[in-house]
Amino acid sequence: MNPLDHLHLALRHDNVLGRGDSLIHASVTQIDLHDFSRLCRTYGLAGFHCVTEMDGQHRISEEILTYWREGFGKDYNPDRVQALTQLHLHRSFDAMTAAVTAAEGQAPLLVGTSARRYDKTIDFDAFLSIMERSGQPAIVQFGTSWGLSPEQLHRCDWVLPPIEGRDGYNHLSVRCAAAVIVDRLCRSARVTTEEQ
């Protein structure tokens, strides 16, 4: 089994951290929808899941998808349309996990990301080994704004290590962080496949 075939990305907008560690519902941005979808398509991942509880954010997201899947964008940029087939909208964390469970035929491992290190932190190689041994799919979650809340991280089976730069500055956009993490996972998966 190639674990990347069963690896899902989730961008959480629900109950994420705002300034001062307050819980907020962050807005969906069009660039996140496009870039996460393109990331999943480029690396051959199982899908991208956007989670927001807000009705208005769902309406905006659906309008964007309609433009690219059915409107002018469909003929204007077919590559973008192909990437957006990876995108699934959900109103809650539980709805997302239920949808992935139904699609995969079993419950996924839940994995968090954070700019901080947590007790459940696991390195990329070890995480992929767990996926391979268990045969389970996985959802790697990213938080908008200031990231996943402690409550969200508590529900995770594992947390991937933070991305550390050269001089202690640690404030990447969620899109950049996701790209780095996915590339590291793919490199680890490639090494594992070559060794077998």
Could you read off the pLDDT of 97-109 as tens digits, one per residue? 999 999 999 999 9
* pLDDT at residue 193 tops 90: no
Domain that holds residue 21: 3-195
Number of structural domains (the chain) is: 1
AA identity, residue 59: R
Determine the average pLDDT of the residues in 179-195.
81
Report the relative pairing of strands 138-143 and 47-51 from DSSP bridges: unpaired
Reported pTM? 0.94
Could you read off the pLDDT of 30-82 as tens digits, one per residue? 999 999 999 999 999 999 999 999 999 999 999 999 999 888 888 999 888 89
Domain with residue 125: its CATH number is 3.40.1280.10
